[in-house]
Amino acid sequence: MDVMTPQEILETPDLIAVGIAGDDVRRRMHGERTTFVRVFEIHVDAPPQALPAGTRSGEVRIVGAPRSLDAAVAAVRAAVALAGNVPVTGFAVTDLLTLGLLDGVARALAEAGLAAISQLPIDTVENPTEAAHQIRDAGLTVHAITVERLDDAARMDLCARAEQLQAADGGFKAFAPLPRTMSLTKPTTGYDDVKMVSLARVMVSNVPSIQVDWQLYGPKLAQVALTVGADDIDNVSAADPGVLGMRRSPLEEIRGNIRAAGLDAIERDGLFNVRQP
């Protein structure tokens, strides 16, 4: 079978061929290796006093837009106190740009104990390469290139920009090509999402992982995405209330979904290091 071009991936109605194109690249890069991370989220405005019983996370992540740099630093310190040895990450670069000069903001967060900034939305940060340089110079990393909103006509452009950002700056561990904010007037379909995952894997081969958010897109689409180019599942629930039994715990559910796709499930932490069983 001939290798599909990005344009062909977008234009063909043959979803099987689209999936094969993304999966071929994925398997050349990773074989059957598939990673996932269990995340406990803390809102920047409301850090809890303690972690809920049954929480087993590989990452504590601060979410929400901070009102000020002081509020962001306070949230990081509170999260670090709760997390123990678990890496604390947080924030989108877009939200930090409102707090002051980015290098100074990143330095303050690093000094407070933040291990990494969660995401750089490539479609909403005006100069993502400069932003990434400033963050790294301040002693932090950004692990994921993300997409906030997705226009059909911008699919190839966003993938090209992600590839160029990695080539210019390096250090990104994952590209999450599916939009984090859904259009109310023109939401993507499952068909669109499968094509975008495959397209991202084919076009952005210099970023190690193509990522799908478990909480945002659900286990069914996440599982399908693993067969068309994705190899990392983000944001699996770290809380297990224990009411459904061990076989229905978030850990066993994600492992079962990955194995059912014929892949090897490997748990990682928030810094993309493999966690020991």
What's the CATH number where 79 sits?
A: 3.20.20.70
Domain assignment present for residue 227? The answer is yes
User: Residue 246: its pLDDT value, please?
Assistant: 47
Residue at 96 is within a domain: yes
Count of domains forming the chain: 1
pLDDT computed for residue 248 by the predictor: 60
Average pLDDT, stretch 133-153? 92
Instruction: Please indicate, yes or no, if residue 181 is contained in any of the structural domains.
Output: yes
The band of 149, judged by pLDDT with boundaries at 50, 70 and 90, is very high
Q: Is residue 275 part of a domain?
A: no
Taking only the tens place, the pLDDT of each residue in 239-257 is 775 544 445 678 889 999 9
* Residue 140 structural domain: 6-267
Q: What is the rounded distance in angstroms from the CA atom of residue 201 to the CA atom of residue 111? A: 35
Residue-wise burial string across 2-30, b where 16 or more C-beta atoms lie within 10 A, e elsewhere? eebebeebbeeeeeeebbbbbbbbbeeeb
- Is 210 contained in some domain? yes
Q: Indicate the helix (H) or strand (E) that contains 157.
A: helix 155-169
Does residue 1 sit within a domain?
no
Residue at 277 is within a domain: no
Q: Would 42 be classed as within a structural domain?
A: yes
The pTM is what? 0.93
pLDDT at position 1 is: 52
Among the residues of 31-154, which ranges form H helices?
A: 69-83, 93-96, 102-112, 128-137
Predicted confidence (pLDDT) per residue in 150-209, tens digit: 888 899 999 999 999 999 988 899 999 999 988 777 777 888 999 999 999 999 999 999
Place of tokens 């059957």: 32
pLDDT reported for residue 188: 78
Per-residue pLDDT band at 108 (split at 50, 70, 90): very high
Q: Which class for 198: exposed (0-12), middle (13-18), buried (19 or more C-beta within 10 A)?
A: buried
